[in-house]
Amino acid sequence: MLRYTGHPIVDVGAATIAAFAGKSDVASVTEEDLDQFAAYMEQNYVVNPLKSFLTVAFPNSGFTNPAFEKNPGRRLDYARMVGRAFRADVPGSGEKCVFFGEPALGIPLTESEGAGRAFRQHIPLVTGEGVINFHPGGDAGLPVSGLALLCIQAFPLGCAKCGGRLLAVHADSEEITLEFARAFLEENMKAVQLARQSGSTKLPEAKRLPKTLLVETLLAIEERRRDALREDEPASVTAYHLSNSGQSNPLDVNNPPLAIYHLPLEMTGFLRRAMAADYRGAWQALVQRAWQLNPRPEKKGRRKATAAARETEAEQAFEPRRNVLFEDLFGLPENAPDFVRRYFLRIPRRFAGEDDPRRYYSLKNEADLVSWRLTELFLERVMNVDKRRIQEIRALGDRLADYVDTQNDRRFFLNFFREQNYGNFRAVLLKANLAHVKRGNPPLITLDPYLEVFEDGVNVASSDWRLARDLVLIRLIETLYERGWLGRNQDVIPEIPAEEGD
């Protein structure tokens, strides 16, 4: 009876109904399950807190229209109409539902338009009544079936409320779509109960910003799947942060009515693998140090409270809203060089705000967070770097680490770390290579590996040579840390100037 259509609003609604019924897939949803969800709608959509919550999805609908306020019976009638329209005894029309392809409703959904036609108050982000633009034959509205209409009404409960908007998540994997809907449904049901107990007329906002919430929820889902020994392949994930209020300016790039956040297959595959046992410790350490910091406590407070007491109180009450690592995932792979430098090499962002943890990153204090294994995973899964080049980068890092450790060449380490001019950088390597050979040792680096890592041809620097240098540094630093050389030579790790840290 119920199935996915490929349309995010309908699919998230279908997944929400399945989660409400405690089913593991939408195909197992029965007519009795649909009736139970419709009954929940009739009881809860017409009163607060869900009535106010639905204004973001269905403004001017029978659930939220202020004109219905004096006659609660009209709200209940509307809830019954849209909730029970899937039943076989409801007449159909000669048109096909645009979502399911089955006969569209033959009953009017509004007082002024034809039978079975749905508008903005029924389906988020479509046009309102009387608007005929882009409709064939000049017929306004969309023909929908009762089943599609019920799924769309269920849609908001499978979303998170973020910034006065809804965050809906749709994945290539049916299971992941359902798990997101289940997670958000459970939070919304808890919030409804708490709101009723406290007498509140509104549901609270999600504790996280949309991108952070998306990644945090995805990681929790992948962890449950791993614990259940599921070996399913990762899937791309798309989130829709939307408002149907009609008050947003679609031309306002800073506040559009719909923002789309996408995590492609490469990224979700990386995240899933990073949660595995062999990467988990290194990954969790980076995540933990990427949470928004508590801004300075207000100077004003109870007169008798000491400054220390106020600060402790503020720390206890503070709940971070964003994780900068999670947020920066959405700029990949375009911002990969900066991502590598910031999170894997711990280079600070000096001009960030006081609540931004990246401002306080420090290789000198966080060398234990540098992980070549995690970096290598990132190169393979996200950046799709050739395995041979990755091997050459690692091998060079190992040789240079052995050189720095055995020769205690502090000057080379510092120059290799800080040099920004490619000609000077190459001279640093050549000088160390020559000195090493003069001592009777084999070369630190030969022509072919050097070209593979740093150049696109002889004497032609690769456009990403700085990224390659940072990658070698990651392996170099990890090895020197493990050998204890960094601990004995902490003063050689340079403070990063502002222009380099940003």
- Report the 3 state secondary structure along 155-169: HHHHCEEECCEEEEE
Q: How many Cβ atoms are within 10 Å of 46's Cβ, its own excluded?
A: 23
Cis peptide bond upstream of 333, omega within 30: yes
Distance separating alpha carbons of residues 18 and 2, to the nearest angstrom: 9
Q: What is the pLDDT of residues 470-487, one digit of tens each?
A: 999 999 999 999 999 999
CA dihedral 368, 370, 371, 376 (to 10 degrees): 180
DSSP 363: H
The contacts of residue 40 (CB under 8 Å, 6+ apart) are 20
| CA separation, residue 322 to residues 167, 287, 306, 343 (Å) | 15, 11, 29, 16
- Report whether 468 contacts 337 (CB < 8 A): no
Reduced to 3 states (helix: H, G, I; strand: E, B; else coil), residue 375 is: helix
- Report whether 444 contacts 455 (CB < 8 A): no
Distance separating alpha carbons of residues 381 and 270, to the nearest angstrom: 6
- Report whether 268 contacts 236 (CB < 8 A): yes
Reduced to 3 states (helix: H, G, I; strand: E, B; else coil), residue 249 is: coil
Backbone angles phi and psi of 361, in degrees to 5 = -60, 145
Reduced to 3 states (helix: H, G, I; strand: E, B; else coil), residue 371 is: coil
The contacts of residue 327 (CB under 8 Å, 6+ apart) are 209, 211, 212
For the chain, which residues make up each domain, given as ranges?
8-242, 371-501
What's the pLDDT at 248?
61
CA 254 to chain centre: 18
The contacts of residue 379 (CB under 8 Å, 6+ apart) are 385, 390, 471
Half-sphere exposure of 408 toward its Cβ, with a 13 Å CA cutoff?
Answer: 5
Q: Please identify every stretch of the chain with a pLDDT value under 70, giving residue numbers as ranges.
A: 112-114, 130-138, 228-232, 246-255, 296-316, 458-459, 496-502
What's the pLDDT at 146?
96
- Reference 357, options 374, 341, 342; nearest CA is 342
Distance separating alpha carbons of residues 233 and 379, to the nearest angstrom: 19
CA 222 to chain centre: 13
Distance separating alpha carbons of residues 401 and 472, to the nearest angstrom: 10
Distance separating alpha carbons of residues 417 and 469, to the nearest angstrom: 8
- Report whether 4 contacts 14 (CB < 8 A): yes
Reduced to 3 states (helix: H, G, I; strand: E, B; else coil), residue 238 is: strand
The contacts of residue 66 (CB under 8 Å, 6+ apart) are none
- Reference 152, options 5, 6, 14, 4; nearest CA is 14
- Report whether 133 contacts 139 (CB < 8 A): no
Reduced to 3 states (helix: H, G, I; strand: E, B; else coil), residue 92 is: strand
Backbone angles phi and psi of 103, in degrees to 5 = -55, 135
From the CA atom positions of the chain, what is the Rg in Å? 29
- Report whether 467 contacts 336 (CB < 8 A): yes
Distance separating alpha carbons of residues 26 and 182, to the nearest angstrom: 12
What's the pLDDT at 297?
55
Rounded to the nearest 10 degrees, the angle between the axes of helix 465-483 and helix 372-381 is 150
What's the pLDDT at 304?
46
CA 125 to chain centre: 22
Q: What is the pLDDT of residues 154-173, one digit of tens each?
A: 999 999 999 899 999 999 99
What's the pLDDT at 218?
97
Residue matched to tokens 């990246």: 358
* pTM of structure: 0.90
Q: Helices (DSSP H) in 208-323: which residue ranges? A: 210-227, 265-274, 277-288, 307-317
What's the pLDDT at 368?
96
Burial of 307 (0-12, 13-18, 19+ CB in 10 A): exposed
- Report whether 169 contacts 12 (CB < 8 A): yes
